[in-house]
Amino acid sequence: MPRGRYSFYDTHDHTPLGAEHFHCATGPSGWRYVSQLTAPSGDHAGSVDLTIDDLGRPIRLELNASSWQVRGAAIDGVTWVRTDPAGEQAQEGNVPAHAFTGASPAFLIATARLLRLEPGTPATRVRLVAFAPPVLAPRTLDQSWSLIDRTTHDTDSGPLPVDEYQVTELDTGEQRQIHIAGDVVLSAPGIELEELESPPSAFA
Protein backbone atom coordinates (compact mmCIF):
# COMPACT_ATOMS: atom_id res chain seq x y z
CA MET A 1 0.00 0.00 0.00
CA PRO A 2 1.86 3.13 -1.17
CA ARG A 3 1.84 5.97 1.33
CA GLY A 4 3.54 9.31 0.90
CA ARG A 5 3.33 13.03 0.25
CA TYR A 6 2.97 15.18 -2.84
CA SER A 7 3.79 18.89 -2.82
CA PHE A 8 2.15 21.45 -5.09
CA TYR A 9 3.72 24.58 -6.50
CA ASP A 10 2.94 27.33 -9.00
CA THR A 11 4.36 26.34 -12.39
CA HIS A 12 5.36 29.95 -13.16
CA ASP A 13 7.28 31.04 -10.06
CA HIS A 14 7.40 27.81 -7.98
CA THR A 15 5.46 29.37 -5.12
CA PRO A 16 4.45 26.55 -2.71
CA LEU A 17 0.71 25.84 -2.87
CA GLY A 18 0.40 23.11 -0.26
CA ALA A 19 0.75 19.37 0.11
CA GLU A 20 -1.25 16.16 -0.10
CA HIS A 21 -0.62 13.26 2.29
CA PHE A 22 -1.95 10.10 0.67
CA HIS A 23 -2.27 6.36 0.78
CA CYS A 24 -3.74 4.11 -1.89
CA ALA A 25 -4.28 0.44 -2.58
CA THR A 26 -5.24 -1.85 -5.43
CA GLY A 27 -7.69 -4.70 -5.00
CA PRO A 28 -9.55 -7.32 -7.03
CA SER A 29 -12.37 -4.88 -7.76
CA GLY A 30 -10.40 -1.70 -8.40
CA TRP A 31 -8.33 0.97 -6.63
CA ARG A 32 -8.88 3.41 -3.76
CA TYR A 33 -7.01 6.62 -2.98
CA VAL A 34 -7.44 8.62 0.23
CA SER A 35 -5.62 11.83 1.13
CA GLN A 36 -5.57 14.89 3.37
CA LEU A 37 -4.65 18.30 1.97
CA THR A 38 -2.67 20.96 3.81
CA ALA A 39 -2.08 24.62 3.00
CA PRO A 40 1.47 26.07 2.83
CA SER A 41 0.94 27.14 6.46
CA GLY A 42 0.30 23.52 7.44
CA ASP A 43 -3.40 24.07 8.13
CA HIS A 44 -5.90 21.48 6.97
CA ALA A 45 -7.24 22.38 3.50
CA GLY A 46 -9.44 19.48 2.45
CA SER A 47 -9.52 15.82 1.53
CA VAL A 48 -9.87 13.41 -1.38
CA ASP A 49 -11.48 9.97 -1.35
CA LEU A 50 -11.65 8.30 -4.78
CA THR A 51 -12.54 4.72 -5.65
CA ILE A 52 -12.44 3.40 -9.20
CA ASP A 53 -13.52 -0.02 -10.45
CA ASP A 54 -11.34 -2.45 -12.37
CA LEU A 55 -12.14 -0.61 -15.63
CA GLY A 56 -11.09 2.75 -14.21
CA ARG A 57 -14.61 4.17 -13.79
CA PRO A 58 -15.24 6.31 -10.70
CA ILE A 59 -17.63 4.42 -8.46
CA ARG A 60 -17.22 6.77 -5.50
CA LEU A 61 -15.79 10.28 -5.17
CA GLU A 62 -15.81 12.56 -2.16
CA LEU A 63 -13.96 15.89 -2.20
CA ASN A 64 -13.79 18.47 0.58
CA ALA A 65 -12.25 21.96 0.38
CA SER A 66 -13.01 25.17 2.28
CA SER A 67 -16.16 23.55 3.69
CA TRP A 68 -17.42 22.78 0.19
CA GLN A 69 -18.15 19.13 -0.53
CA VAL A 70 -18.65 17.11 -3.70
CA ARG A 71 -19.87 13.54 -3.90
CA GLY A 72 -20.04 11.81 -7.25
CA ALA A 73 -19.97 8.59 -9.24
CA ALA A 74 -20.21 7.25 -12.79
CA ILE A 75 -23.99 7.19 -13.29
CA ASP A 76 -25.42 8.07 -16.74
CA GLY A 77 -22.07 9.63 -17.57
CA VAL A 78 -20.92 11.23 -14.33
CA THR A 79 -23.27 12.51 -11.64
CA TRP A 80 -22.47 14.56 -8.56
CA VAL A 81 -23.91 16.59 -5.70
CA ARG A 82 -22.11 19.76 -4.57
CA THR A 83 -22.93 21.20 -1.14
CA ASP A 84 -22.24 24.75 0.00
CA PRO A 85 -20.34 25.57 3.22
CA ALA A 86 -23.52 26.45 5.09
CA GLY A 87 -25.08 23.13 4.14
CA GLU A 88 -28.31 24.87 3.23
CA GLN A 89 -28.53 23.75 -0.38
CA ALA A 90 -27.17 20.98 -2.56
CA GLN A 91 -26.66 21.37 -6.30
CA GLU A 92 -26.93 18.27 -8.45
CA GLY A 93 -25.12 17.86 -11.74
CA ASN A 94 -24.86 15.33 -14.54
CA VAL A 95 -22.71 15.39 -17.68
CA PRO A 96 -22.14 12.74 -20.39
CA ALA A 97 -18.44 12.53 -19.51
CA HIS A 98 -16.05 9.65 -18.87
CA ALA A 99 -14.75 10.52 -15.40
CA PHE A 100 -13.76 13.27 -12.96
CA THR A 101 -10.56 15.26 -12.61
CA GLY A 102 -9.07 17.86 -10.31
CA ALA A 103 -5.90 19.05 -8.62
CA SER A 104 -5.11 15.74 -6.91
CA PRO A 105 -2.63 13.34 -8.58
CA ALA A 106 -5.25 10.66 -7.94
CA PHE A 107 -7.16 11.85 -10.99
CA LEU A 108 -4.13 11.46 -13.27
CA ILE A 109 -3.74 7.85 -12.19
CA ALA A 110 -7.47 7.19 -12.53
CA THR A 111 -7.60 8.65 -16.07
CA ALA A 112 -4.55 6.65 -17.14
CA ARG A 113 -6.21 3.53 -15.75
CA LEU A 114 -9.43 4.34 -17.59
CA LEU A 115 -7.71 4.82 -20.97
CA ARG A 116 -5.16 1.96 -20.70
CA LEU A 117 -3.04 3.29 -23.53
CA GLU A 118 -0.12 1.50 -25.14
CA PRO A 119 3.03 3.17 -26.52
CA GLY A 120 2.63 4.21 -30.13
CA THR A 121 -1.16 4.15 -30.22
CA PRO A 122 -2.98 7.28 -31.43
CA ALA A 123 -3.89 9.99 -28.95
CA THR A 124 -7.17 9.37 -27.16
CA ARG A 125 -9.71 12.07 -26.41
CA VAL A 126 -11.46 12.02 -23.05
CA ARG A 127 -14.17 14.25 -21.56
CA LEU A 128 -13.86 14.97 -17.86
CA VAL A 129 -15.62 17.02 -15.19
CA ALA A 130 -13.09 19.03 -13.17
CA PHE A 131 -13.58 20.29 -9.62
CA ALA A 132 -11.14 23.07 -8.77
CA PRO A 133 -10.35 24.17 -5.21
CA PRO A 134 -11.19 26.12 -3.18
CA VAL A 135 -14.92 26.11 -4.06
CA LEU A 136 -14.99 22.89 -6.13
CA ALA A 137 -16.97 24.48 -8.95
CA PRO A 138 -17.58 21.93 -11.75
CA ARG A 139 -16.22 22.49 -15.25
CA THR A 140 -16.46 20.13 -18.22
CA LEU A 141 -13.30 19.87 -20.29
CA ASP A 142 -11.77 17.74 -23.04
CA GLN A 143 -8.25 16.35 -22.97
CA SER A 144 -6.10 14.33 -25.34
CA TRP A 145 -3.86 11.63 -23.81
CA SER A 146 -0.91 9.90 -25.48
CA LEU A 147 1.44 7.32 -23.98
CA ILE A 148 4.77 8.57 -25.30
CA ASP A 149 7.10 6.02 -23.77
CA ARG A 150 7.33 3.16 -21.28
CA THR A 151 10.66 2.45 -19.61
CA THR A 152 11.60 -0.09 -16.95
CA HIS A 153 13.88 0.85 -14.07
CA ASP A 154 15.66 -1.59 -11.77
CA THR A 155 14.83 -1.07 -8.09
CA ASP A 156 15.47 -2.94 -4.84
CA SER A 157 11.96 -4.39 -5.05
CA GLY A 158 12.24 -5.43 -8.71
CA PRO A 159 11.62 -3.88 -12.14
CA LEU A 160 9.51 -0.70 -12.09
CA PRO A 161 7.74 0.29 -15.34
CA VAL A 162 7.36 4.06 -15.75
CA ASP A 163 4.89 5.50 -18.27
CA GLU A 164 5.41 8.93 -19.81
CA TYR A 165 2.17 10.58 -20.94
CA GLN A 166 1.53 13.73 -22.92
CA VAL A 167 -1.72 15.39 -21.90
CA THR A 168 -3.15 18.18 -24.04
CA GLU A 169 -5.90 20.55 -22.91
CA LEU A 170 -7.99 20.78 -26.06
CA ASP A 171 -9.53 24.17 -25.22
CA THR A 172 -6.15 25.90 -24.77
CA GLY A 173 -3.64 23.60 -26.50
CA GLU A 174 -1.52 23.50 -23.31
CA GLN A 175 0.56 20.31 -23.06
CA ARG A 176 1.90 18.55 -19.98
CA GLN A 177 4.29 15.66 -19.50
CA ILE A 178 3.31 13.24 -16.74
CA HIS A 179 5.29 10.28 -15.42
CA ILE A 180 3.37 7.50 -13.66
CA ALA A 181 4.62 4.29 -12.07
CA GLY A 182 1.82 1.94 -11.08
CA ASP A 183 -0.49 3.97 -8.85
CA VAL A 184 1.94 6.79 -8.05
CA VAL A 185 2.62 10.00 -10.02
CA LEU A 186 6.40 10.44 -10.10
CA SER A 187 6.33 13.88 -11.68
CA ALA A 188 3.96 16.33 -13.35
CA PRO A 189 3.85 20.11 -13.81
CA GLY A 190 3.07 21.68 -10.44
CA ILE A 191 3.37 18.35 -8.60
CA GLU A 192 6.37 16.78 -6.88
CA LEU A 193 6.51 13.43 -5.11
CA GLU A 194 8.32 14.33 -1.89
CA GLU A 195 7.95 11.10 0.12
CA LEU A 196 7.07 7.49 -0.65
CA GLU A 197 7.19 4.88 2.10
CA SER A 198 6.64 1.81 -0.08
CA PRO A 199 6.89 1.00 -3.81
CA PRO A 200 3.98 1.74 -6.16
CA SER A 201 1.36 -0.95 -6.57
CA ALA A 202 1.01 -2.60 -9.97
CA PHE A 203 -2.40 -2.88 -11.57
CA ALA A 204 -3.38 -6.36 -12.76
SS3 of residue 13 by DSSP: coil
Average pLDDT for the chain: 95
Phi, psi (rounded to 5 degrees) for 112? -60, -40
Q: What is the pLDDT, as a whole number, of residue 2?
A: 93
| pLDDT value of residue 89 | 85
- In this prediction, residue 159 carries a pLDDT of 85
List pLDDT tens digits, range 142-179. 999 999 999 998 887 778 899 999 999 999 999 999 99
Residue 174 has phi, psi (to 5 degrees) of: -65, 135
Give 46-53 contacts, CB < 8 A, sequence gap 24+: 46/133, 46/134, 48/20, 48/22, 48/102, 48/104, 48/106, 50/100, 50/104, 50/106, 50/107, 50/110, 52/110, 52/113, 52/114, 53/29
Instruction: State the pLDDT at residue 202.
Output: 86
Q: Per-residue DSSP letters for 27-80? A: ETTEEEEEEEEE-TTS-EEEEEEEEEETTS-EEEEEEEETTEEEEEE-SSSEEE
Q: How many CA atoms lie within 13 A of 130 on its CB side?
A: 16
Report the C-alpha dihedral over residues 109, 119, 168, 166, rounded to 10 degrees: 70
DSSP 176-192: EEEEEETTEEEEETTEE
pLDDT confidence band for 22 (50 / 70 / 90):
very high
Q: Which one-letter amino acid corresponds to residue 13?
A: D
How many CB atoms neighbour CB 78 within 10 A?
24
Cα of 158 vs its chain's centroid, Å: 26
Task: Tell me the pLDDT tens digit for each residue of 82-119.
Answer: 999 888 889 999 999 999 999 999 999 999 999 999 99
Provide CB contacts within 8 A for 156, sequence distance 6+.
none
Q: What is the pLDDT of residue 38?
A: 97
User: 131: helix, coil or strand?
Assistant: strand
Q: Which pLDDT score, from 0 to 100, does residue 150 have?
A: 95
Q: Is the pTM of this model over 0.85?
A: yes
The predicted-structure confidence for 47-67, as pLDDT tens digits, reads as follows 999 999 999 999 999 999 989
- Stretch 19-28: mean pLDDT: 94
More confident residue, 27 or 182: 182
Q: Please give the residue that has the higher pLDDT: either 125 or 158.
A: 125
Residue 40 amino acid letter: P
Contact between 98 and 75 (Cβ < 8 Å): no
Find the mean pLDDT for residues 182-203.
94
